[in-house]
Structure 1
Amino acid sequence: MSEAGVIHDIGYQRYRGPRLGRLALQQALYVQGLRAAFGLGRSAKAKIFPWLVAGIMLLVAVILAAIRSQTGQVIFTYMQFADQMSLLIIFFVAIVAPQLVSRDLRSNTLPLYFSRPLRAADYVLAKYAAMTTSMWLLLGVPQFIMFLGAAFTTKDGFRGVWNELGDLVPGLGYSLLWALMFAGIGLLVASFTGKQAFAAGGIVAVFMMTTPIFGVFMSLPSTTANSLAGLTSPMFLIAGVGQWLGGGADAEWDLGRFGPIYGIEAFCLIVSCVLLLLARYRKVASL
């Protein structure tokens, strides 16, 4: 005897829950991107490399704080910390940027995203914000550890803590500049391929291949060419901005009167990367 199926007609049920809209979609993408940057909610393999970089930087900060508390010697200022960690920052960008955008290209989930009220600009800004925040945390947390080490060992009481805070705030702002620029470049390169290995290699190549150009300009006999050499490389561009602002690492070259040019190029490079990302994803959304 065969069993007969039963169909229950419960009628059409309207959705009565809240309609959150585009802002909620942006927030969800931002949180998901920030979690993905550090491998949260993913396999242990996805956590190894970002947390390895973060662990090394935290260890350096702890060592610097310990040295200062014992000897009073400042090895790196807060602004110099980001300059000294530049290679680790590049490594972090090469790991995280493909995780945020290349995986979506490879799995072909972008049409699903854009079939909803989410726009290409929303997607780009959410990913860019997540990448920038993760990099700022990568640099800012170690700097805060350095600040705590200095604040608890100062001999000037509240005045010493206040002065130390005055040094920390520009350092955090300088770290934000690193995050804004490197996030834009990394995401832009990664947005052109769905293969994470190719994206990571392209990101490293963009940063490392510009360094020899800086060396070529520095080898020229022209003082003007030497002063403008940092404009050819993102790492030295940011270092030039730091020197112009008066707190970056000791530069290998004299900016002369061209300090404002470094600030203008840094701003234009960040804006250009965001605009190119928007153009790239508007093209993807229209396919």
Structure 2
Amino acid sequence: MSTLEQTPIGAPGGAAPAGVIHDIGYQRYTGPRLSRRHVVGALYGHSLRTAFGLGRSAKAKIFPWFIVGVVVVVAAALVAIRAQIGQVVLGYAQFADTMSWLVIFFVAVVAPELVSRDLGSGVLPLYFSRPLRIADYPLAKFAALATAVFLLLGAPQVVMFLGGAFTTDAGWSGVWNEFTDLLPGLGYALLWAVVFGGIGLVVAAITGKRAFAAGGIVAVFLMTTPIVGVLSVLPSTTANQLAGLAAPSSLVQGTGIWLFRDALVTNQEGGMGIGDFGPVYALVTVGLIAGCTAVLLARYRKAARQ
């Protein structure tokens, strides 16, 4: 660090300096200038790490890794039971259905963590300075949360697949059959991830405060379930078959039954009948995802102007 003294023009030669310029070492950036794609990728990666508490305090890791531990332990238990009795207790896609209640609480905690802090602190204009665009921020957050939920449901299915592949007596044909059973399960997990991630982020972005956002997300998922129960006992068969449209969980299940009927046949026989309305469930699901994306984009356009 150096100190340079300057004497104002016109000052007497022996006069004391009128100002001091301190060279504190600022330099122009001479490294590589990365593109918008790299910025979005960094934001996505940071958000995905945040979802699991990576790079944060031990307290932030407790809940997400507790949920991860539960689903992995359940998957390992299913593998052990199958190895003992020689029969599949729970299929891959049905595993996602069974663990969906854990996904609700995972999203309720993680979604506010991803968006509420930035909304409340007023730093979004810094994010939206070039080359990041306004739409990039919510889409990167959406992708990160959906990826986190997909990993939460998909990784245990891979554990189940490995257990089934190594214990099969049918050789490579048995491994291939396990793999073809796994694919619908992963597709169904992706469906859960996109729908739940979109709804969770919308509620968190609109609510703002983390505590209120978490409660709002749980309320959206749990308070709509009784509506499905009421509609499903009406004397109208059509109302019964369309009842699942009233709640996110049953909406995903109805779409899953239509897309992965063979993998979810047990669930279909268990009580949720959609009749011939499978395409309706799929269209409503697509509309819900598109609506959540549109609301997120509108919310962050508004935040950028504040």
* Normalised-by-shorter TM-score class: over 0.9
Q: Which residue of 2 aligns with 1:129?
A: 143
Q: Counterparts in 2 of 1:121-270, with a 5 A limit?
A: 121-245=135-259, 246=261, 247-248=263-264, 249-251=266-268, 252-270=271-289
Residues in 2 aligned to 1:253 and 1:10: alpha-carbon distance in whole angstroms: 69
Give yes or no for the alignment of 1:97 onto 2:114: no
Residues in 2 aligned to 1:18 and 1:119: alpha-carbon distance in whole angstroms: 20
Stretches of structure 1 lacking an aligned partner (at least 5 in a row) = none
Alpha-carbon contact 1:101-1:187 (below 8 Å) kept: yes
The TM-score normalised by the length of structure 1 is 0.95
Residues in 2 aligned to 1:94 and 1:12: alpha-carbon distance in whole angstroms: 43
Amino acid at match of 1:121: A
Residues in 2 aligned to 1:10 and 1:178: alpha-carbon distance in whole angstroms: 53
User: What is the aligned counterpart of 1:112 among 118, 126, 144?
Assistant: 126
Q: Give the % identical residues.
A: 63
Amino acid at match of 1:250: N
User: What is the aligned counterpart of 1:21 among 28, 35, 39?
Assistant: 35
Q: Which shifted more, 252-261 or 167-176?
A: 252-261
Tell me the CA shift for residue 10 of structure 1: 9.6
Deviation sequence 1:89-129 (CA, Å, 0-9, x none): 00100011001001111222212212332111010111011
Give yes or no for the alignment of 1:49 onto 2:68: no
Q: Which shifted more, 107-116 or 253-262?
A: 107-116
Residues in 2 aligned to 1:92 and 1:16: alpha-carbon distance in whole angstroms: 42
Stretches of structure 2 lacking an aligned partner (at least 5 in a row) = 5-21
Tell me the CA shift for residue 227 of structure 1: 0.3
The TM-score normalised by the length of structure 2 is 0.89
Residues in 2 aligned to 1:284 and 1:11: alpha-carbon distance in whole angstroms: 35
Tell which has more relative contact order, 1 or 2 (C-alpha 8 A, sep 6+). Answer: 1
Higher Cα Rg: structure 1 or 2? 2
Residues in 1 aligned to 2:125 and 2:118: alpha-carbon distance in whole angstroms: 10
Residues in 2 aligned to 1:257 and 1:115: alpha-carbon distance in whole angstroms: 49
Residues in 1 aligned to 2:41 and 2:267: alpha-carbon distance in whole angstroms: 39
Residues in 2 aligned to 1:82 and 1:191: alpha-carbon distance in whole angstroms: 26
Alpha-carbon contact 2:3-2:23 (below 8 Å) kept: no
Alpha-carbon contact 1:39-1:50 (below 8 Å) kept: yes
Residues in 2 aligned to 1:130 and 1:201: alpha-carbon distance in whole angstroms: 21
Q: SS state of the match for residue 6, structure 1?
A: strand
How many pairs were matched up? 283
